[in-house]
A and B are shown apart, each in its own frame.
Chain A
Amino acid sequence: MSATMERRTPEPGTWLGIPEFPKAAKVGLANAQLRKNLAHATTTIRAKRVVRASEVPDWEELRTAAAQIKDRVGRHLDTYLLQAEAAMTAAGITVHWARDAADANRIVADIAKAKGVDEVVKIKSMVTQEIDLNEALEAEGIAAWETDLAELIVQLGHDLPSHILVPAIHRNRREVREIFVEEMGRYGTPAPEGISDNPPELAEAARVHLREKFLRAEMAVSGGNFIVAETGTLVIVESEGNGRMCLTLPKTLVSVVGIEKIVPTIEDLEVFLKLLPRSSTGERMNPYTSLWTGVTDGDGPQDLHVVLLDNGRSRVLSDPTGRAALRCIRCSACLNICPVYERVGGHAYGSPYPGPIGAILGPQLRGLEDARDRALPFASTLCGACNDVCPVKIPFTDILVHLRNKVVEYKTADHATGEQALMKTAAWVMSDGKHLAEAQLATRAAGGVFGKRWLGKLPIPIASRWLRARDVEAPPTQTFRQWWKKNREGEGR
C-alpha cells in the first residue's frame, strides 16, 4: 500500500541546515516584518511583566526562594528522583527512565504500539521538541498532533518554533490565515470557506480543527512543568485549555519530563506558580493549572506513564557554574527582554531553546563538539537584562562567560588559534603599564597620521566589521599617561 510511505503529519522545518549564529542571525535581521513583529510583541510583554512583578511585595524573596529550591533539588537530585518514582509508582503511574532522546522516543512509541494507536494528541512541551519526538513517532507511522494554537501554526506551517512560550511569534495573522486555509484540510477539518485573518475567526477554525482530534484520540503526550517528589503529583501549566482536554479525554497519557523538573513538596509549588505566570505571560494567575496524582477510577486517563529524561542534564549538573541553568522554568522572560533575540528571532539559535536560556542551556546539554554550539555563548552582548528578569535568578552572563572560557579551552586544546595569539599579546601588554606605554607608541603614531580626522570605511580585515557602519575617532597623539607625566609628574608613584 503506497499510503504507508506517506507522511501522516506535515513535514517540519529542520534545524540541521541552520548555520552558526553570526551567519544565521542575518536572516532574521534582514526580515523587516519579523523585526517589527518581534519588537512589538516583546515590548508589550516586557511592560506587562514589569507591572505584574512590581505588584508582588515579596517578589525578590520569591525569586531567591525559587533559586534555592531548585538548587537544593539539584544537590539531592538522586534522592528526590527516587522519592518521586516511589510516590508516582504508588499512585499507579508507570515510571520509565530515559538516558537520552532515542530512549525516550522509543519508550513513547512502544507504549503507543502496545496500545494499538496510530495517533496521539500533544500538549505543548519543550522537552518533546528537544528530543524531536514528533518525527520519531512519524517514523513509526504514528501521527503526533500539536494542540496548542501556536504549536499548531508551527506544525501546519511546516515550520520550526522560534520562542519558548509563543513558538509562532514570528508569524503574523495573514500568514496564519494562509497556513490554515492551505493546510488544515489536508490533515483534518478544513478552515471554513471565506475565513478572514481576524484572530477570533482563526481561533475558532483551530478550535473546530482540534476538536475532531481531541474527541478521537486514544492517547495523549505531554511534558511536565513540575513533579512533586513527596506526592508524585504532576503539574501542567497552560493557558488555552487544550492541555486540559489532552489530560482528561484520552485513555492513555504519557508525560515526558526532564529530571530537573522535580520540586520537593506541594508547598514549594506555591513559589513557582506565583513566579511563572507573572514572568511568562504577564498574568497574575495561570489560566489552566492541572495537577494529577496517579490514576483515579472512572475519571481521566486510566493508564499513566511518566518518562524521566536525562538527555545531558546530568552533565549540566556536574558543572558547578553551569548547573544554575537547570533552574529554568521555561517562562521566556529572558527571551522577551533580550535585545539580541528581539532583533534576530529564535531560529538563529539553532534549537527549540532560543534566546539567553538557549545560549546557556543548549551548549551544555549537547556539548561543544558542534561549531554551532560553540558559537552560542558568544551570541550575547552580556548586557545582563536577562539576569534581572529571571524568576529563578539564573546568572546568565556569568554562565555565558564561563562557557566562553570552555569554548576557548576546547578550541585551543589541540592547536593554537589566531585569536589566542592576539589575546596572549594583549595579556603581555596589559601585564604592566610599561608594556602598555610601548604599545601606545603605535596608536600615537596613528594619531599623528590621521590628525583629528575620523576613520571611516576601510577594507582592513576584522576592523571592517566595525567600520562597515561605525566611524572611529582617530587616536590622540598624547595618551593620558603622558599628560599625567607632563602635568602632574612627581605626584604619582
Chain B
Amino acid sequence: MSPGSGKTVALFATCINDTMKPSIPIATVTVLERLGCRVVYPPRQTCCGQIMTNTGYWKEALPTVRNYVSSFGDYDYVVGPSGSCVGSVRHQHEMLARHAGDEPLAEDAKAVASRSYELSEFLIDVLGVTDVGAYFPHRVTYHPTCHSIRVAKVGDRPLRLLRAVGGIELLDLPGAEQCCGFGGTFSIKNPDVSIAMATDKARNVTSTGAEYLVAGDQACLMNIGGVLHRDHEPVRTIHLAEILASTEENPR
C-alpha cells in the first residue's frame, strides 16, 4: 500500500507559484499523487496575505485569511510548497483575525492552520516517507530559506528528502542560513541592502560548483536566481518539489 492512499490533500498552490511558476505546484501534485494521495485544488484559493501583512496593511490582509479559511476549512491536510506562505498561515492568520476583532474567524484560522503543512513536513511527518523515489543526477546545493527554518520550522526535513534522492550530489552552501535579502517588499523599500545580500548569497552559491540551487521557497529563488542570471552564472534555480517530482522514468 502506498503511504498516501486514503489521504485527500488540498493543495495550497500559493499565488506566486500559481502565477509565476506553475511548474512548482504541478511538481507538488506529481509527488503527492505518486505517493498515493488524492490531490484536490480548491479553486477559490489565492494567497497567504503575507505581502500585505508584512508591509503593515493588516486590514487589507484580512480577506486572504477569510479566503484561506473558506477554501481549506473542510480538509484534513492542506499542503503548500512554500515554508514562507505556510509559515505565514500558521503564525499570522489567527493574529490578524484577532486584531480585527473577529474571534470566530480567529478560531477557524487557528484550526485550519494546524492542519496546514509545508511539503517536506507533510511527506516526512504525515506520510512517513523520506525516499520519495526521486532521481536527479546533478550537483545541487540547498538554501534553507529563513521562513522555512524560522517560521514554519521545517528543520532538516528538506535535506533528509534530498539526501534520499537517487543520483544527487549535495554540496554544502557556505553561510547557508543567512538571509538572501528578499524580504518581500524589503527588496523594493531597501533595494541597496537587498541587492548586497542577494549578491553575497549568489557568490556563495557559485562557489559550491553546483549546477542547481534548490530551496523550498520560490520567492527566495527568484531573488538569488535573478542575480545569478544577471551575472551570467550557469547555476539554475529549482524548487524542492521539482527535484522530488523528477524520476528515472520521467526526468526533469
Contacts and interface: CB of A to CB of B under 8 A. Distances in A.
Nearest to A26: B192
B247 to A, nearest CB: 18
B19 A479 contact: yes
A491 B40 contact: yes
B52 interface: yes
12 contacts: A22-B192, A25-B192, A29-B192, A339-B181, A343-B196, A382-B184, A383-B146, A423-B60, A427-B60, A430-B46, A433-B42, A492-B40
Given A379-B190, A404-B54, 20 more contacts: A21-B190, A26-B192, A381-B186, A405-B58, A406-B56, A407-B56, A423-B55, A423-B57, A426-B60, A432-B44, A432-B67, A433-B45, A465-B187, A465-B191, A469-B227, A470-B198, A470-B226, A471-B230, A480-B18, A488-B29
A34 to B, nearest CB: 12
Interface of A: 21-22, 25-26, 29, 339-340, 343-344, 377-385, 387-388, 401, 404-409, 419-420, 423-424, 426-436, 440, 443, 454, 456, 462, 465-466, 468-473, 475-476, 478-481, 483-484, 488, 491-493
A324 to B, nearest CB: 14
Interface of B: 13, 15, 17-22, 25-26, 29, 38-47, 49, 51-64, 66-67, 71, 92, 99, 146-147, 150-151, 177-179, 181-200, 222-223, 225-227, 229-230
A344 B67 CA distance: 39
Contact of B18 (A377, A378, A383, A479): A479
B229 to A, nearest CB: 4
Contact of B49 (A344, A387, A424, A430): A430
B227 A491 contact: no
Given A433-B43, A491-B40, A420 B67 contact: no
Given A382-B183, A430-B64, A433-B45, A473 B20 contact: yes
User: Which DSSP category, helix, strand, loop or mixed, fits chain B's interface?
Assistant: helix
Contact of B67 (A25, A404, A430, A491): A430
A470 B197 contact: no
A26 B194 CA distance: 11
A465 B183 CA distance: 14
A492 B20 CA distance: 21
B52 A423 contact: yes
A454 B231 CA distance: 13
6 closest A-B pairs by beta carbon, nearest first, are: A470-B226, A381-B183, A404-B56, A431-B63, A408-B56, A383-B179
A26 to B, nearest CB: 5
A334 to B, nearest CB: 14
Nearest to B99: A405
A431 B67 contact: yes
Given A378-B186, A380-B183, A484-B41, A385 B19 contact: no
Given A431-B46, A468-B191, A493-B43, A381 B26 contact: no
Given A436-B46, A493-B40, A384 B26 contact: no
Given A381-B186, A443-B20, A492-B40, A29 B196 contact: yes
Contacts of A427: 52, 57, 59-64
A472 B58 CA distance: 28
A440 B13 CA distance: 14
Given A383-B183, A443-B19, A466-B188, A480 B177 contact: no
A485 B29 CA distance: 13
A465 B188 contact: yes
A436 B18 contact: yes
Contact of B226 (A384, A436, A471): A471
Nearest to B14: A480
Contact of B193 (A25, A385, A473): A25
Nearest to A28: B193
B20 A476 contact: yes
A408 to B, nearest CB: 4
B54 A401 contact: yes
Contacts of A406: 56
Contacts of A383: 146, 150, 178-179, 183
Contacts of A430: 15, 46-47, 49, 52, 63-64, 67
Contacts of B178: 339, 383, 385
A387 B150 contact: yes
B189 A378 contact: yes
Contact of B194 (A381, A408, A409, A492): A381
Contact of B53 (A25, A401, A443, A469): A401
Counting chain A CB atoms within 10 Å of each CB, the highest count among B63, B189, B192 belongs to B192
Nearest to A432: B44
A424 B61 CA distance: 9
A382 B54 CA distance: 9
Given A423-B52, A429-B46, A340 B193 contact: yes
B139 to A, nearest CB: 22
A426 B41 CA distance: 22
Contacts of B183: 380-383
Nearest to B185: A378
Counting chain B CB atoms within 10 Å of each CB, the highest count among A29, A344, A420, A427 belongs to A427
A264 B120 CA distance: 45
